[in-house]
Amino acid sequence: MYYVYILKSKVKPITYTGYTTNIERRLKAHNSGSVKATKSYRPYELLQLEKFLSDKEAKIQELYYKSTSGRRKIKKRLRLAKKI
């Protein structure tokens, strides 16, 4: 099983998207500071998690979320979540 995840920083309005096969281990790595890309804005909370059967599908979805239109979609979800 492959997971695409979106993390949200608890200290700044920043999100991070990635994919993994072990979400618990990966979240701990982000929050411990061992991931250089997210070290400065920790701690993080899991905002979204999607499951995929293949590595290829997960990579495609991760790349979409890292694209301009994917980032817009994430920001829109965040705005809608704040209104609820």
Q: Does this model's pTM top 0.75?
A: yes
Give the count of domains, the chain. 1
- 8 A C-beta contact, residue 39 and residue 47: no
Contacts of 84 (CB under 8 A, 6+ apart): none
Residue with tokens 């997971």: 3
Supply the CATH number for residue 79's domain. 3.40.1440
- pLDDT tens string, the chain, 84 residues long: the values are 999 999 999 999 899 999 999 999 999 999 999 999 999 999 999 999 999 999 999 999 999 999 999 999 999 988 877 766
pLDDT at residue 84, rounded to an integer: 61
Half-sphere exposure (Cβ direction) of 73: Cα atoms closer than 13 Å? 12
Q: Which pLDDT score, from 0 to 100, does residue 82 have?
A: 72
pLDDT confidence of residue 10 = 94
Instruction: Give the separation between CA 69 and CA 83, rounded to whole angstroms.
Output: 22
Q: Which domain holds residue 78?
A: 2-83
Mention every residue, 6+ apart, whose C-beta is less than 8 A from residue 31: 42, 43, 44
